[in-house]
Amino acid sequence: MKALFDVLAPEEPDFALASAIDPDRLPAHIAIIMDGNGRWAKRRNLPRVAGHKAGIDPVRITVETCARLGLRALTLYAFSVENWKRPRGEVDMLWRLLRLYLRAELPDMSRNDIRFNAIGRIEALPDFVRGELEETVRATAANRGLELNLAINYGGRAELVDAVKALIEDSRRRDIVIDEEAIASRLYTAGTPDPDLLIRTSGEMRVSNFLLWQIAYSELYVTDTLWPDFSRTDLLRAILDYQKRHRRFGGWGDAAPIESDVALLEVIPTR
Ligand code: FPP
């Protein structure tokens, strides 16, 4: 986290927020559903694509902040398998923005030791987008800092279908045990810890087919802020909120055990 303080002046409000974060309890992996670009543009009487363009800066800020915090992974939902239903012009513009972003950010990714990865059905993307993605993956492959996963043409159900297909394929060649590990190791995110924190912007209370397997025990944080307005302050607030949560993973966590469960059962009225 020290690297974050290198860019924060003590009089900035983010300095106080960052100081309140416990460096020993940072989420290892944050996933974000970046939503609200269209509404941001509509409120300004601008075309939707202006909202997407304005969504690039928060991507930069979020990536840089997560890298400076020393997080292990950040996964951003940029384009879902369902997003092909949007008008052709909007989809084409998204591809152009993505190429611009990747070209402009590669030097910063290298400087900040960020390893870029694209998750989703990448093979179905237009050649020029796929080429740019592959080039960025290749150029950052040796980096060992933040793992930045961009989910593009991604669907949680599609990912599970692909994992099951791979499992069946492998089982034809050798005996395999079918357990949770067998599925998890065939997901696009194999090798990355599940997200500790899932953030969604623009107030919608949905998971929208994002990382369905991986978010089983993620803490959810929904903010009304529209993605183009999402700032470093919003990210730090989300992390602070996460640190207040009591994660139990279906068990008791560190809750004090009840002294006498049997005695308690006797005093609970039964019908
Ligand atoms: C959701 O807002 C956003 C998207 C489908 C695209 C995400 C794209 C960006 C954040 C910009 C570019 C990103 C990169 C990585 C270069 P929406 O259009 O569904 O908004 P609405 O719900 O208000 O209509």
CA of residue 221 to ligand 1 center, whole Å:
18
Residue nearest to atom 24 of ligand 1 (CA): 38
* Ligand 1 nearest-atom number relative to CA 80: 5
Return the H-helix or E-strand segment holding 33: strand 29-33
> Would the pTM count as exceeding 0.85?
yes
Find, among 258, 178, 175, 187, the residue nearest to 216 by Cα: 187
Instruction: Output the CA–CA distances (angstroms, integers) from residue 58 to 62, 119, 157, 228, in the order listed.
Output: 6, 20, 27, 6
Instruction: Output the CA–CA distances (angstroms, integers) from residue 117 to 70, 120, 139, in the order listed.
Output: 17, 10, 11
CA angle 222, 133, 164 (to 5 degrees): 70
Q: Is 98 in the pocket of ligand 1 (CB under 6 A)?
A: yes
Query: In this structure, what token pair is assigned to residue 237?
Result: 């607030």
CA of residue 33 to ligand 1 center, whole Å:
9
User: Given this model, what pLDDT does residue 267 score?
Assistant: 72
Percent of the chain having pLDDT more than 90? 90
| Contact call for residues 78 and 34 (beta carbons, < 8 A) | yes
- Spatial separation of the C-alpha atoms in residues 49 and 45, rounded to whole Å: 12
* Amino acid letter, residue 22: D
> Which of the four pLDDT bands, split at 50, 70 and 90, describes residue 270?
confident
Could you read off the pLDDT of 136-160 as tens digits, one per residue? 999 999 999 999 999 999 999 999 9
> Which of the four pLDDT bands, split at 50, 70 and 90, describes residue 247?
confident
CA of residue 36 to ligand 1 center, whole Å:
7
Q: Is 86 in the pocket of ligand 1 (CB under 6 A)?
A: no
| Contact call for residues 234 and 225 (beta carbons, < 8 A) | yes
Least confident of 18-27, 156-165, 244-253, 261-270: 261-270
Could you read off the pLDDT of 49-76 as tens digits, one per residue? 999 999 999 999 999 999 999 999 999 9
Q: Is 35 in the pocket of ligand 1 (CB under 6 A)?
A: yes
Q: Is 27 in the pocket of ligand 1 (CB under 6 A)?
A: no
- Supply the mean pLDDT for the chain: 95
* Ligand 1 nearest-atom number relative to CA 39: 23
Q: Is 77 in the pocket of ligand 1 (CB under 6 A)?
A: no
Residue 265 pLDDT > 80: no
* Amino acid letter, residue 90: E
User: Given this model, what pLDDT does residue 255 score?
Assistant: 65
| Contact call for residues 215 and 42 (beta carbons, < 8 A) | no
User: Given this model, what pLDDT does residue 84 score?
Assistant: 97
Alpha helices in the chain (DSSP H): 2-5, 13-20, 37-43, 48-54, 56-69, 88-111, 127-140, 156-173, 180-184, 232-244, 261-267
Residue 261 pLDDT > 70: no
* Ligand 1 nearest-atom number relative to CA 51: 18
User: Given this model, what pLDDT does residue 113 score?
Assistant: 97
User: Given this model, what pLDDT does residue 257 score?
Assistant: 60
